[in-house]
Each structure stands twice: as structure tokens, then as C-alpha cells.
Amino acid sequence: MRILLTGCAGFIGWKVCEHLLDAGHQVTGVDNLHPAYDVRLKRWRLQELHRRELEFRQIDIRDREAIQTLFARSAPSYDAVINLAARAGVRQSMVDPWGYFETNVIGTLNLLDACRVSGVPKFVLASSSSVYGGAARPFHEDQPTDQPRSPYAASKKSAETLCHAYHVLYGIDVTVLRYFTVYGPASRPDMGIFRFIRWIAEGEPVVLYGDGTQERDFTFVDDVARGTVAALRPSGLATINLGSDRPVAIATILSMLERLLQRRAEIERRPLHPADVPATWADISQARRILGWEPKTTLEDGLTLAVRWYMDQRTWAASIDLGD
């Protein structure tokens, strides 16, 4: 297949690119290398991808004209678009909600309309478990998602509704994937596990919001990448959770990382953030049924790989700005 993948230098996009290229697909990767976090991470991922046959274009999906030009110059047309380009993170979206809506909503609209004009039959959207807000657990895809708790969640829900409209109006085959707390090597530095590893390894205080009993459905990045590639199959219109179906307390994660790094964590406690939810938990029965997918990587193995990556890249990873 000829696939356009946006956000190819991002944490999940990088891994999806690897899986697509290794499977023999022709991939055009798009990324604007936005400095929302340390660009060295994005350049490191791109360097890894350039060991394969990636066609890279530095384009911002907010730029409608640039997107239209990219599609117009693609002959024949792409077989599918996977939109992983996004401004991510719940707390940061409260600081700059406009930036989140410009990328996550207008950017998605630009891509969907380019698919309409060019006749691209398949569109895969990366969404988020955050759209569920405070819904009853486990989260399943037919639950109401009309009470977001952050601008980030609202932007992702808005992108989902755009996909629905373009499916109904123009027949584009759409799969929306709701990712649950993805972790692994070379992850975003604003994410909890990256921060915990860095803080423990370097003997810095570990900032813990709440008492550590809050739970997350941690999902290893390669498992998510496999599910994203599987979502290229025709589905009509489908919304699918990709998670581990095994919520784990933050305090348990810290204990596991202490053991792997052979260092005790110095905890600096702060109040729970108002945008945070007490727990996430994915019902993945639909992923099993529609995609034939389920996670394969144990939490122990996934954390081991994340720690190993950090220690291997420590000479520069230790200086990465973790943000606020």
C-alpha cells in the first residue's frame, strides 16, 4: 500500500512507520518537528527511520495549502492516510488550547478534505482514552463521550466527529483508534514513565500528583503500532480501543522502576490535577473482534525496554527538558 502517515517523528508515529516499512509498504512520512517537547527526541526517531526506506516531508498539517499540494503531487493517490500528528497532553492543553484545536481539529479537517478531493479510500485517526472523561470503567466504545475534562480531550472528540461526518457524506472508510497510556522507549518526556525513569536514574525528586493509587491502562508502543497497522483493513466506520485491559496503580509502576533501576525514588507529592481522572481501563473486546488484535508485551518487559533505552541514551537523554 501507499500510505501517508502524519506525525512520523512522534512517539507512536515512529513505531507505526517502522512496522509499515518492515511489512513492505511505501510510506510518506509527514511531521512539522514542532518544539512542543525536545526536538532531539524527534530527530533521533527520524534517524532510526532513515535506516529504512522512508520518504519524509517536513509539513505542518495546519497548512491547508501545503497538504493540498502534497496530495496533488501524489500519483497515484494514497491508499490510506494514518493521522498521528497531534498536540498531545492533558495538562499542556490548558495552557494553549488554541494550538491544540488548530492541530488536532483543523489539521484533521485538512487531511480529511484532501482525502475527499483525491479519492483516498481509508482514513485512520489516532484518538485518546481521554475522551471518556469520568465515564464508568471499563471504557467501551459506545459509552457517551460528551463530557471532556480538558481541551485536549475536547479536541480529540471534535476530530472524531469530523471523521464521522466525512464517512457519512463522502463514504471514506474510517477507523478511529482510542489509545490508552502508551509507553516505551523514546517516549514523550512529558509522560509519566519517561519522567519516572529519568528522575529515579538521576537521583532527582519524583513528582507524584495524588497519592499514587490512581490507575492507568498502560499499553506498550509496539502493541499499539501493530493495532494501528491492523486498522488499515476496511471497517466502514469503527471506533476501537487499544489498551492493555489491565489497569495498574502509579505506585506499582514506581516500585517496578525502582527495582529495575536499583535505586529508591525520592517522592515529592503534589495535589491531584483537576484534569486527571482516577483511573482508565480499556475494554478491548472490539479490537479483538474487528482487528484480531490484543497486546502481547507484559508490563515487566515493556518497562525493562524503556529503562534499557534510557540508560543506552543517557548521555543526552538526561538533559532532555521535561517541561512543566
DSSP 290-304: II-------HHHHHH
Instruction: Look at the alpha carbons of 168, 170, 172, 177 in this order and tell me if their dihedral is positive or negative.
Output: negative
Query: What CATH number does the domain located at 2-180+220-242 have?
Result: 3.40.50.720
Mean pLDDT of 76-100: 95
pLDDT given at position 118: 97
pLDDT given at position 111: 98
Mean pLDDT of 101-108: 98
CA–CA distance from 288 to each of 223, 243, 292 (Å)? 13, 11, 4
Question: Can you spell out the DSSP letters for 65-119?
Answer: HHHHHHHHT-SS--SEEEE------TTGGGT-HHHHHIIIIIHHHHHHHHHHHHT
- In this prediction the pTM is 0.97
End-to-end CA distance of the chain: 40
What is the rounded average pLDDT for all residues in the chain? 96
| Domain residue ranges of the chain, discontinuous segments joined by + | 2-180+220-242
The most distant pair of C-alpha atoms in the chain lies apart, rounded to whole Å, by 56
Q: Is 166 an annotated catalytic residue?
A: no
Quick: pLDDT tens for 189-211. 999 999 999 999 999 999 999 99
Q: Which of 152, 166, 183, 310 is catalytic?
A: 152
Quick: pLDDT tens for 279-314. 999 999 999 999 999 999 999 999 999 999 999 999
pLDDT given at position 274: 82
Point out the least confidently predicted range of 128-137, 170-179, 226-235.
Answer: 128-137
pLDDT given at position 132: 96
The fraction of the chain above a pLDDT of 70, given in percent, is: 100
The C-alpha cell at 253 is 509502576
Question: Can you spell out the DSSP letters for 159-190?
Answer: HHHHHHHHHHHH--EEEEEEE--EE-TT--TT
